[in-house]
Structure 1
Amino acid sequence: MIQRPQPNDRFRMRPLHRWYAASWLLLGVCPPIISVVGDTGTTKYWSLALLAVIALCYAIVVALPGNPVLRPHTFLGVLTLGLGAMSCVRGDGAALFIVSLPHFWRFARTPRHSIAFSGVAAAATVVGITLHYGGNVEFFTGNIVFTLIGYTASVLLGLGLVRIVEQSDERARRLSAELESAQLRLAEAHKLQGATEERQRLAREIHDTLAQGFASIIVLAEAARSSLDTDPGKSAQQLVSIENTARENFAEARVLVGSAPQSGLAPGSVAMTLRRALDRFAGDTGLTVTADLPDIECDQPTRIALLRCTQESLANVRKHASASTVDIVLTPHAHGVELEITDDGQGFVVEDSHGFGLNGMRKRLAELGGELTVTSSVGDGTRVLAMVPTKDQV
């Protein structure tokens, strides 16, 4: 069974209902009025009175759908009696009955009620016509035939429309269920994607901060232990570096767990930030480091990205390059900032490198609209070029 709308929605005068109301008045109510205007006697007054009652009840049901007196089924009862009475008074109620058939499908609660009410109205119309002509078959056969044909057609058409509406409602419910299921799957996918992206971000931050710091601590600890007897001063310096690195790792760990400001960096320009990292690297490794670091103003995300790229590049130099010198150049451009890091190490085949560090740098720069270019070959050292656009160029 189809789900019928609430009464206040069902009987509100929508555009289609307005067209039908106008058609019913013009084709159903007006013709009998016009035909009896010139008549005399009781037929004229009875016809006008019956039509007025039917039209008034219709107007009340449509204009006041929530009124407690005249319910829709009450109106159908009045319409049925009115059709029978008009047929009895005039003998030509078939036309008014046929034009009024949509009322039974609009105002009845269910298709069964529609068929029942319209069937009773058809019977009342036939009985009224028969009484009007006093059983003289040759006068009323046509009206009765048209009444029965109209009733049969209305039942077939009404059931067909009900079936279409039921199928449409079922299809709408199925599509709604599919849409809800798709939305749930999409929300779950977004949730999983967000969790994956957050894990990747944390992994990148841990790799660029804590992992690099721990690697430095291990290298420094091994060096301090090996020189403890032969060069205590150098071992003491290395222990200081271990302590500083551990403190930095502790600060970065607080940032990652959310108990410290998100930057995790000491205040200062990008040049000062990079200079501190280079001094630490030169002191820990003993490599020759040359730097051209002009004082450039940039926002905090750019400053962090340039520092992480520098730290990752220096860590790779320490672990893999076997280099003796490292050169770093920071260059401002109209379109952004470029950071170039080169070493004279043993180099590598870029296409064969799939490490987490290079991918992490690329992703970090891509989030700011920048890019990373790595140039290297075996025996020729490595060049890392990081470009970060200014905000108005992103």
Structure 2
Amino acid sequence: MTHLRARTGTVGLAALAMAAGALVAPAHATTITAAPQAAAAPQAQKGGVRLHSNAELARTLKQIERASHGRVTVRSVGKSNEGRPIWFATLGSGPRRVMYVTQQHGDEPLGTESALAALRTLGQSDSRAARAVRSKITLGIVVRANPDGHEHQWRYNYDPDADPEYGEPGKGYDINRYHDPAVAPGDNPATEAAVIQRTYAAFRPSIVVDYHMQGRYAFPPPDGREITTSILWPNHPSVSAAALRRSKQVGVAVHDAFTRAGAVVSQYPGGTYQGIARNAYGLLGSASLLVELSALPPEREHFQVRTAYRSMVELAEAAASGALDRLDPAAADRIPPRGPSLPGGASAARDRGTH
């Protein structure tokens, strides 16, 4: 978990493809290049990324929907405890369904900014590669699953009467501990987790990727590089061999996309609890992956958004082209484990260790 300072305002998304630079073409697909009006990631600017407020997020999603000429559809799939809509954006008409979730923890916002950029590129571009993706997959994104947590600048949802097993009394529930497949949405005390459960059941994705943030870590000497991203697939012992294999293939594809963009990637040291989204949706048979963006200094947040954007777009390309299914899942096990926390960075305990 990380606590980013409040910085609201519309992200400057125009001309992002130029700011991000041309995508390095993966071996499996023709790279999608954003059209000028379908920018890919925030323009470089001094300081950190300017985050969308909840009201700005709603307006921006509707703008993307209008500009896509029907390719992107945005709807509310539920409301938070304080009555804010939880948005689900979809594009494409292909049979393979891919679902991304951002910002289950309210103070981990950069995945949301990356998702907006990916929606613009995949939904607004008229390139041959973008059209191919839309014809082969249907992509759905839960954009900011925890709008109340974003508003209050904390990890949890907003439920001051909560006395949770996972969460904080007087604040709310840790949404990413309440996806247990054995608990029906109607019995789920974490409202926003129940919304994700219902969305998953209705959308039926074969792939689920959950975007979070973590503290700052480095590989131990002699490597010593700072880790910018950590990933992990399901590790609950009851996840089927087939779901685990597909999850690791997704992990390899996402690792490679981040690495091509200049990220330094490790395995995340996550736990086996079945209520964590990456385990829960793996238990339900989907390929499931957790992505953790490190809380780098403000001047490097644009890099983090850009690399996460790249992972979203390139995974969609790999799923659409079939290249994803040809990846060696054993390569995931060769991704090195996360190293120790950096002095002054968030500790593993602060991260709760099991996103």
Give the structure with the larger helix fraction: 1
Find the structure with the greater CA-based Rg: 1
Give the structure with the larger strand fraction: 2
TM-score over 0.5 for the alignment?
no
TM-score by length of 1: 0.22
